[in-house]
Chain A
Amino acid sequence: MSALVELRNVWVEYGDKIVLERVSLQLVEGGFVAVVGPSGAGKSTFLRLILGQEAPTRGQVLLGGTPMRAECGPDRGVVFQRYSVFPHLTALQNVLFGIECAGAPLTARLFGARRRAARDTAVEMLAAVGLEHSLHVYPAQMSGGMQQRLAIAQALVKHPRVLLLDEPFGALDPGIRLDMHALITRLWQEHGLTILMVTHDIGEAFKLGTRVLAFDKRRHDPHAPHRYGATVTYDLSLDRKTLPPPALVEALGGDDLPQRDLA
């Protein structure tokens, strides 16, 4: 399989503070990569690199073999923990937005037959995430889980080459989170998505991912904590039986061993 995203010796520094150092890896098409690590280990910075919100200080980020500009683009979809949907648009309008931007550069609105076609696509997408009965509801009237479903539908309607999830289920109740796990797994399989998900929940990472990346600092200077950046400390390809290495569980302070119950 070809590498969809490639990082070549990437460093991210803010002045003296080194966030990421020497990150080199490839993400293949069709994978579900989960990124774990303690707070401040650069997980989200890593995601923002691929999103294009952040530029590497050194090194290169390649998308489909060509160097990427540090700007968000429609080939990468994203769902954040919060603020992922537009509060002033209904569910349907939120999903239509991406289609309208592509179809009408000047007004960003579609009319007539093109609007009806776009509407059908959007409704179909909303049905796929279970929001077919909430087309005309504003996000403020939705629960957290519904808002995240909407955010996923909104991103998927653009058919992104890679879907980036930044702690997407972190703020949800445990029961809702299980529903969302089932949903994202189904969408990943049905749509052949490539997913990169940042999470602080190691159980979630090992349950959903086909590959788990752990970020942490290899070296630590207690007198200058910013002197060294984080890098990939574990890179595990998973089959259904792989359990997280005890050292990784301990490093993350987690004691809940995951159950891979999605078979």
Chain B
Amino acid sequence: MTRLVDLRPRRGARLLLGAVPIVALLLVYLVASQARHAANPADKLLPTFSAMAEAIHGFSTDRDPASDRIVIVADTLASLYRLGLGLAIATGSALVLGLLLGVVPLARALLGPVIAIIAVIPPVAVLPILFIVLGLDEASKIALIAIGVAPFMTRDLTGFVTGLPAEQIAKAQTLGANSWQLALRVALPQLMPRLIEALRLSLGPAWVFLIAAEAVAADVGLGYRIFLVRRYFAMDIILPYVAWISLLAIAADALLLLVSRRAFPWAHGGGR
């Protein structure tokens, strides 16, 4: 008999198998929600799908009084702006630092320890400091994401560059490459797919920092909205918002993977 470890589902079967737990979860929710509403028609904990549809209609047509934009659009734009800028700053600085520390042992000796120390500080713990220093505006939220993500990315990229085979570095030097050319033509291009990979892994923590910052001090944003309507037990708004955030995260991840595959085919199984 074929061993369990050798049973590999085909594409169709794989999609079907993957859908089973998702459908099961939805069914469980449906049954539980209906049971609670049968007992108490005013139940707020597990809103029915129709109640959620109504809420979705509400926040995608109503306008946010401050910006005069549709509520979810205003929230999404504000959150993506903070997330994008924070991640851009983190990615840029991690790229420069990772390359520098990876290629130049002197820089590694100088900056390695301080980055290692910063990396172990829980970012949310410095959020009060950021609020005090940078104020309650956008800067502190963007800074939290950048500070939370950059040290991890820097260490990851440094490790990657130092892990490049010594043979490759020796070969480049025998081909006449100086330190700058070595960084620019050997280390940097090989670092790029890893940078995207590190960015994909950082998306999760970045969302956490964003929503934490928005929960504490904001007047617009996805995290702000969730924590605002929590006061009214508005699960019919919270659940669609969480689903929307997940969707955005999945889309960002897929987009980055696509970019990496297109731009660096040699890093994905030697494609064409």
In the assembly, what is the distance between CA of A141 and CA of B270, in Å? 6
Does B10 sit at the interface, judged by CB under 8 A? no
Q: How far is the CB of A101 from chain B (nearest CB, A)?
A: 4
Partner of A86, one of B170, B186, B269: B186
Most chain B CB within 10 A, of A71, A97, A151, is at A97
CB distance from A228 to the nearest CB of B (A): 27
Are B174 and A73 interface neighbours, CB within 8 A? yes
In whole angstroms, what is the CA distance A77 to B176 when docked? Answer: 10
Contact A88 B266 (CB under 8 A): yes
- Does B176 contact A98, Cβ atoms closer than 8 Å? yes
Bound Cα distance A85, B171 (Å): 8
Task: Judge if B181 is at the interface, Cβ distance under 8 Å.
Answer: yes
How many chain B residues touch A (CB < 8 A): the figure is 26
A-facing mask of B140-180, CB < 8 A → 1, else 0?
A: 00000000000000000000000001111011111111101
Distance of A255 from chain B, by nearest CB (Å): 31
Stretch at the interface among A14-22, A153-161, A169-177, A207-215: A153-161
Q: A158 to B270, Cβ gap below 8 A?
A: no
Contact of A88 with B270 in the complex, beta carbons under 8 Å: no
Contact of B175 among A51, A97, A107, A141 (CB under 8 A): A97
The answer to whether B177 touches A88 (Cβ under 8 A) is no
Query: 1/0 per position for A70-97, CB-CB distance to B under 8 A?
Result: 0111101110101111111100000001
Q: Does A98 contact B264, Cβ atoms closer than 8 Å?
A: no
CA distance A85 to B270 in the complex (A): 14
Q: Establish whether residues B270 and A84, one from each chain, have CB atoms under 8 Å apart when the complex forms.
A: no
Chain B positions 185-230 with a Cβ under 8 Å from a chain A Cβ: 185-186, 189-190
Known: A97-B185, A138-B266, A140-B266. A80 touches B174 (CB 8 A): no
Do the beta carbons of A87 and B176 come within 8 Å of each other?
Answer: no
A-B contact count (CB 8 A): 90
A101-B270 CB under 8 A given contacts A51-B170, A72-B170:
no
Q: Give CA–CA (A84, B175) in the complex, Å.
A: 11
Contact B168 A158 (CB under 8 A): no
Q: Name the residue of chain A whose CB is nearest to the CB of B164.
A: A83
Most B-side CB within 10 Å, residue of A72, A84, A100, A139 = A72
Let me know if B269 and A76 touch, CB within 8 A: no
User: Any chain A CB within 8 A of the CB of B184?
Assistant: yes
B267 lies within 8 A of chain A by Cβ: yes
Contact (Cβ within 8 A) B270 A138: yes
Smallest CB gap from B265: residue in A: A138
A39 at the interface (CB under 8 A from B): no
B266 near A87 with CB under 8 A, answer: yes
Whether a CB of chain B sits under 8 angstroms from the CB of A102 is yes
Chain A residues with CB under 8 Å of B185's CB are 97, 100-101, 108
Distance of A164 Cα from B171 Cα, bound (Å) = 11
> Does A76 contact B178, Cβ atoms closer than 8 Å?
no
A222 interfacial by beta-carbon distance below 8 Å = no
Interface centre among B173, B175, B265 (most CB of A within 10 A): B175
- Cα separation A89 to B270 with both chains bound (whole Å): 11
Contact of B174 among A82, A105, A155 (CB under 8 A): A155
Contact (A78, B269) CB under 8 Å given A97-B185, A105-B181, A108-B181: no
Nearest CB in chain A to that of B189: its residue: A88
CB distance from A168 to the nearest CB of B (A): 12
Chain B interface (Cβ < 8 Å from any Cβ of A): 165-168, 170-178, 180-181, 184-186, 189-190, 264-267, 269-270
A-B contact list, 24 entries, CB within 8 Å: A72-B173, A72-B174, A73-B174, A74-B173, A74-B175, A74-B176, A80-B171, A83-B165, A83-B167, A85-B171, A86-B186, A87-B190, A87-B266, A88-B190, A88-B264, A88-B266, A97-B177, A97-B185, A102-B176, A140-B266, A140-B269, A154-B175, A155-B174, A158-B175
Binding site for B on A (CB under 8 A): 51, 53, 71-74, 76-78, 80, 82-89, 97-98, 100-102, 105-108, 138-141, 151, 154-155, 158, 160
A-B CB proximity, top 4 nearest: A140-B270, A72-B173, A98-B175, A83-B165
